Copies of this chain bind each other. A is one copy, B any other.
């Protein structure tokens, strides 16, 4: 007599407060790491790991392993839509929401990601490199590479590719940008680019933060070196 999909399974996944917080955080469309989600939900990493595993197996989340990070996103727009409609129900019943305040706009514009650039500016660089066919994107694991013209460009930019090739570290790696939710350039080349920017004093780091401010000269150089049109 009971036929049909198992809505109880989905309901139970959404029904735990910690998991609900994680889902709401991911509703922004951004990819977040396991630890970010743990702090977001106010639980320890171990507990979050368990939750994330359950939700992934339950079809609510998708994950992308990247280096030692693990980025989680909602499994698809259908999941987001279900969450939205449930929020509608909950809100109509009188549970109102006071959502988190606006995040630092400077952080979204430009910031450091370990040792390379991230944020809007980094994504623009990545787009520009791809647009001008300096970067080749092969489908296999993180398979980015420089074309011959790309190599010329980097040499002209003042980057010693031979030195980078000596390191065990991969030259090019795609890194998922949390604010832009798109790829930017990581790897030793990404780090070298940041280094060049700093050498030219095109940017200034905020003291105790990841935020980066671009100088007027830097903005000019950006537009000349990495056009996106």
Binding site for B on A (CB under 8 A): 1-17, 19-21, 23-24, 40-42, 58-60, 78-79, 81-83, 85-101, 103-104, 107, 176, 178, 209
Contacts and interface: CB of A to CB of B under 8 A. Distances in A.
Identical chains bound together, number: 2
A25 B101 CA distance: 39
A25 to B, nearest CB: 8
Given A10-B11, A11-B12, 4 more contacts: A1-B42, A12-B14, A59-B93, A79-B89
B58 A5 contact: no
Chain A contact surface mostly: helix
A32 B101 CA distance: 41
A101 B12 contact: no
Nearest to A211: B3
Nearest to A5: B90
Contacts of A86: 5, 7, 10-11, 82
